[in-house]
Copies of this chain bind each other. A is one copy, B any other.
Amino acid sequence: MLLQTIFYVAIAAEAMTAALAAGRRKMDWFGVCVLACVTALGGGTMRDTVLGHYPLTWVEDPYLLLICCAAALITIGLARFMEHLRWPFLLLDALGLVVFTILGCDVALEMGQSPIIVIVAGMITGIAGGIMRDVLCNDVPLVFSSELYATVSIVTGVIYFFGLQFGFPGEAVIIAAALIGFALRVAAIVWKLEMPKFVYDKELR
Contact = CB atoms under 8 A, between A and B. Distances in A.
Interface of A: 19-20, 22-32, 34-35, 45, 49-52, 54-56, 59, 62-63, 65-66, 76, 79, 82-86, 89, 113-114, 116-117, 120, 131, 135-141, 143-145, 150-151, 194-202, 204-205
Contact of A29 (B50, B85, B196): B196
Given A25-B144, A50-B59, A150 B34 contact: yes
A59 B66 contact: no
A29 B59 contact: no
A144 B198 contact: no
Q: Could you tell me the dominant secondary structure of chain A's interface residues?
A: helix
Contact of A114 (B62, B85, B86, B145): B62
A27 B198 contact: yes
Given A30-B195, A62-B114, 5 more contacts: A24-B201, A25-B144, A28-B145, A28-B195, A83-B202
A28 B201 CA distance: 14
A131 B136 contact: yes
Given A65-B120, A116-B66, A89 B204 contact: yes
B204 A23 contact: no
Contacts of A139: 138
Contacts of A145: 25-28, 31
Given A56-B50, A65-B116, A113-B59, A199 B23 contact: yes
Contact of A198 (B66, B76, B150): B76
A151 B30 contact: yes
A12 to B, nearest CB: 16
A18 to B, nearest CB: 11
